[in-house]
Amino acid sequence: MTDLQKMTIDPAIQKLLEIAEADGIELAWDRLEAQQPQCGFGRLGLCCRNCAQGPCRIDPFGEGPQLGVCGATADTIVARNFVRMIAAGASAHSDHGRDMALTLLAAAEGEAPDYTIRDVNKLLEVAEFLKVPTKSRETMEIAKDVAEVALAQVGNQKGELLYLRRAPKKRQEVWRRAGIAPRGIDREVVEIMHRTHVGNDQWYESILMAGLRTALADGWGGSMLATDITDILFGSPVPLTAQVNMGMLSEEEVNIVVHGHEPVLSEMILAAVNDPEMIEYAKSKGAKGINLTGICCTANETLMRQGVPTIGNFLSQELAIMTGAIELMVVDIQCIMQALAPLSEQFHTILVTTSPKAHIEGATHVEFDEHHALEIAKKIVKMGIDNFPNRKETHIPAQVNSMVAGFSHEYINYALGGFYRGSFRPLNDAIIQGRLRGAAGVVGCNNVHTSQDQAHDYVVRELIKNDVLVVMTGCGAIACSKYGLLSPEAAELAGPGLREICEAVGIPPVLHVGSCVDNTRILTVLSQVASEGGLGDDISDIPGVGFAPEWMSEKAISIGCYFAASGVYTIMGGRSPIAGSKKVTEFLSEGWEEQLGGKLEFISDPEEAVQKALKHIDKKRAALGLVEYDPTRFGQSGDRLMRQFIEAMDAGLPVSLYSAKIPEQAKK
Ligand code: XCC
Ligand code: SF4
């Protein structure tokens, strides 16, 4: 591996890294080097700063101190640090969910005129889950109640979250028995902060179970509400084609980039750049038009609903500015590097922060307010246009890849079951027959400790080769789309059984199901698969696994834990933040598996991770009494529609996979 390959496998980023090196521009990789050696105690989870008698550090080699000043053991300290990560991650997702609910409320009350209900069916479905009456009521009345119940869920104090009932009955029982059915979203997070305060919960098992309860409040609470309300406001995604990577920046147009997580902002920026007046204004400044692209999860949101191109994932953000082609980058919340502010000063790029919760020193702050959404969005876009004449030399890498995005759980159901009878039956049957060995969710970030995208790419290729259907979200989905794995052609890389299904149903072997909060779509799919029959009656019976090969954020820890608590064997790549305690490490694995049927393990070697995952899938198949997976049994089919679709994509035609127009377009 060359030095560049050790940093990223993305050729576009490699090219920009060379320029950075030549120009002496400092990036995350350089700052990582400057950080060496990183604190060994912190790395293992063995440093406690929870009170002013510390910081206390436990010697992992058993020679130095084994107890903190208060007597806390390594196990307690590691567990406390870990659940605080869960609490932070769950807060991020759930606060996002709260803001979506507040936007829905404002829209329903007529106070946010730029938002409307784009998916009434989804509203009705959610209303039912939230016990909001719908019969002979106006849409906006229902929407108002849904928003209010959603907000009440966030602040709920007693009982259980309503969405838990979406899980298989058996799973709900598991949670109740373990005492981890979450009561309210805010309550669980607050309780973690309380528990981990000095002198409180000091038994690692009890701390970690409380952590799971908080993670569940995220997965089956805050994040699930965020996904549902986003679908209500902006429409449930259906498959569409889109383009990804830096080559989607334009030499001739004003480049506006959205980065962050909340579609409330990015959807309005999209509306603003499509405004004819704005386009005319851009032309008056010498540009050919306005080009909107995105980074990270807000990009995933607009990608899967409107096909807005994505130019990169987490580790691409600094390099995007370095192209010199971005007039304005507008950010909202989460995963935005502070380094963007000083970096953008070295170029002509204007960095605009918009959230009252996410200011960056040196950036321009234009506070977003959903009550005047479009007006503010236009103001921001205009700032970008005005900056176009300041553009200097650009370095836009040519890399572009095609992909299909937009597989909501509703759509997977519909695609598999056909037009008239949406159902997960075909998926279950495929697993039962062994055409599919199993299914996997591969999600999560980039992490500067490992080569950007490499683990995502490796894990996904191996899984599909072994006939494991993969669903992806977040930066992982962006990673693999850059290498063509989310396009229909990738069926060629799949094992024979999976390839056959891809061709028959017309889907890629890797499905993009959305942003990080949309990991809840995977929970919904798993629940429906479990209820469909033939694969046991709980999520933990399904031959499936979860992966976060390049995780770095606290949100990823919360996600990993709610998957484990939902019964999924979940593997996190990179370094283990609990390595300082053998007991904690074992408890998350064997301990949780015994109680919950799911477990969480940190495995840094992707090869080992894949082998363990396949073994687990086979173990679950055997437990269900299914035929042993045999790759030679399937794979004789072909499909005309699929080939036409691929041709149309190659010709650069903007086609939807299920559009009736495909055949004619493909013929041209
Ligand atoms: Fe952030 Fe969601 Fe991680 Fe990407 S994947 S770096 S959390 S943007 Ni969620
Ligand atoms: Fe040290 Fe205990 Fe205070 Fe942590 S809580 S800093 S271990 S004294």
pLDDT in tens, 134-177: 999 999 999 999 999 999 999 999 999 999 999 999 999 999 99
Q: Which atom of ligand 1 is nearest to the CA of 476?
A: 5
Q: Residue 48 — pLDDT band, cuts 50, 70, 90?
A: very high
Tell me the C-alpha distance between 368 and 333, whole Å. 12
Q: Which atom of ligand 1 is nearest to the CA of 297?
A: 2
Predicted pLDDT of residue 292:
98
The strand pair at 240-244 and 401-405 is best described as antiparallel
Query: What's the pLDDT tens digit per position in 497-551?
Result: 999 999 888 899 999 999 999 999 999 999 999 999 999 999 999 999 999 999 9
Annotate 495-562 with DSSP letters as a single string.
-HHHHHHHHHHT--SEEEEESSTTHHHHHHHHHHHHHHSSS-SSGGGSSEEEEETT--SHHHHHHHHH
Question: How far is CA 601 from each of CA 6, 442, 569, 572, 591, rounded to the nearest angstrom?
Answer: 24, 14, 8, 6, 11
Query: What's the pLDDT tens digit per position in 66-105?
Result: 999 999 999 999 999 999 999 999 999 999 999 999 999 9
Q: Where are the alpha helices (DSSP H) in 388-422?
A: 409-417
Closest ligand by atom to 548 CA = 1
Ligand 1: lining residues by beta carbon, under 6 Å: 296-297, 313-314, 335, 444-445, 474-475, 516, 553, 555-556
Q: Which atom of ligand 1 is nearest to the CA of 300?
A: 2
Closest ligand by atom to 196 CA = 2
Tell me the C-alpha distance between 215 and 486, whole Å. 29
Query: What's the pLDDT tens digit per position in 168-212?
Result: 999 999 999 999 999 999 999 999 999 999 999 999 999 999 999
Cis peptide before 37 (omega within 30 of 0): yes
Closest ligand by atom to 84 CA = 2
Query: What's the pLDDT tens digit per position in 336-362?
Result: 999 999 999 999 999 999 999 999 999
What is the DSSP secondary structure assignment for residue 578, as one 8-state letter?
A: T
Tell me the C-alpha distance between 106 and 482, whole Å. 37
Q: Which atom of ligand 2 is nearest to the CA of 71?
A: 2
Query: What's the pLDDT tens digit per position in 365-391?
Result: 999 999 999 999 999 999 999 999 999
Q: Where are the beta strands (DSSP E) in 70-185?
A: none
Distance (Å) from CA 556 to ligand 1 centroid: 8
On whether the CB atoms of residues 442 and 475 are closer than 8 A, the answer is no
Number of C-beta neighbours around residue 281 at 10 A: 18
Tell me the C-alpha distance between 444 and 549, whole Å. 7
Q: Which atom of ligand 1 is nearest to the CA of 314?
A: 6
62 burial class (0-12, 13-18, 19+ CB within 10 angstroms)?
exposed
Comparing 409 with 43, the larger pLDDT belongs to: 43
Tell me the C-alpha distance between 629 and 432, whole Å. 10
Q: 315 pLDDT exceeds 80?
A: yes
Closest ligand by atom to 57 CA = 2
List, in order, residues 6 or more apart from 659 with CB less than 8 Å away: none
Cis peptide before 55 (omega within 30 of 0): yes
Q: Residue 426 — pLDDT band, cuts 50, 70, 90?
A: confident
Report the pLDDT averaged over residues 432-459: 97
Distance (Å) from CA 103 to ligand 2 centroid: 41
- Ligand 1 pocket test, pick from 333, 442, 551, 553 with the greatest ligand atom count within 8 Å of Cβ, gives 553
Distance (Å) from CA 551 to ligand 1 centroid: 8
Tell me the C-alpha distance between 557 and 211, whole Å. 10
Tell me the C-alpha distance between 146 and 136, whole Å. 15
Bridge partner list, 73: 67
Q: Residue 643 — pLDDT band, cuts 50, 70, 90?
A: low
Distance (Å) from CA 90 to ligand 1 centroid: 13
Predicted pLDDT of residue 659:
43
Predicted pLDDT of residue 494:
97
Q: Which atom of ligand 2 is nearest to the CA of 69?
A: 8
Q: Which atom of ligand 2 is nearest to the CA of 49?
A: 6
Tell me the C-alpha distance between 471 and 184, whole Å. 29
Within its chain, how far is the Cα of 410 from the centroid?
A: 18
Distance (Å) from CA 326 to ligand 2 centroid: 47
Q: Which residue has the tokens 């429906």?
A: 528
- Output Rg (C-alpha) for the chain, integer angstroms: 24
Distance (Å) from CA 121 to ligand 2 centroid: 52
On whether the CB atoms of residues 523 and 559 are closer than 8 A, the answer is no
Distance (Å) from CA 77 to ligand 2 centroid: 8
Closest ligand by atom to 74 CA = 2
- Ligand 2 pocket test, pick from 69, 201, 207 with the greatest ligand atom count within 8 Å of Cβ, gives 69
Distance (Å) from CA 92 to ligand 1 centroid: 11
Q: 662 pLDDT exceeds 60?
A: no
> Please, how many CA atoms are within 13 Å of residue 238, restricted to the half-sphere of its CB?
9
What is the 3 state secondary structure string of 182-250? CCCHHHHHHHHHHHCCCCCCCCHHHHHHHHHHHHHHHHHHHHHHHHHHHHHHHCCCCCEEEEECHHHCC
Distance (Å) from CA 94 to ligand 2 centroid: 29
Predicted pLDDT of residue 325:
98
On whether the CB atoms of residues 26 and 14 are closer than 8 A, the answer is no
Q: Which residue has the tokens 């080769």?
A: 465
Q: What percent of the chain has pLDDT over 70?
A: 94
Ligand 2: lining residues by beta carbon, under 6 Å: 48-51, 53-56, 68-70, 72, 77, 198
> Please, how many CA atoms are within 13 Å of residue 531, restricted to the half-sphere of its CB?
14
Q: Where are the beta strands (DSSP E) in 26-75?
A: 47-48, 56-57
Distance (Å) from CA 553 to ligand 1 centroid: 7
Query: What's the pLDDT tens digit per position in 223-248?
Result: 999 999 999 999 999 999 999 999 99
- Ligand 1 pocket test, pick from 223, 258, 296, 518 with the greatest ligand atom count within 8 Å of Cβ, gives 296
Distance (Å) from CA 198 to ligand 2 centroid: 6
Give every strand in the sheet of 364-365, ordered side by side: 364-365, 350-353, 328-331, 254-259, 290-295, 310-312, 240-244, 401-405
Distance (Å) from CA 447 to ligand 2 centroid: 29
Percentages helix, strand, coil for the chain (3-state, rounded to 5) are 55, 10, 35
Q: 667 pLDDT exceeds 90?
A: no
Distance (Å) from CA 481 to ligand 1 centroid: 15
Phi, psi of 239 (to 5 degrees): -55, 140
Q: 51 pLDDT exceeds 80?
A: yes
- Ligand 2 pocket test, pick from 41, 46, 49, 53 with the greatest ligand atom count within 8 Å of Cβ, gives 53
On whether the CB atoms of residues 498 and 509 are closer than 8 A, the answer is yes
On whether the CB atoms of residues 325 and 253 are closer than 8 A, the answer is no
**What's the mean per-residue pLDDT of the chain?**
94
Q: Which atom of ligand 2 is nearest to the CA of 56?
A: 1
On whether the CB atoms of residues 529 and 545 are closer than 8 A, the answer is no
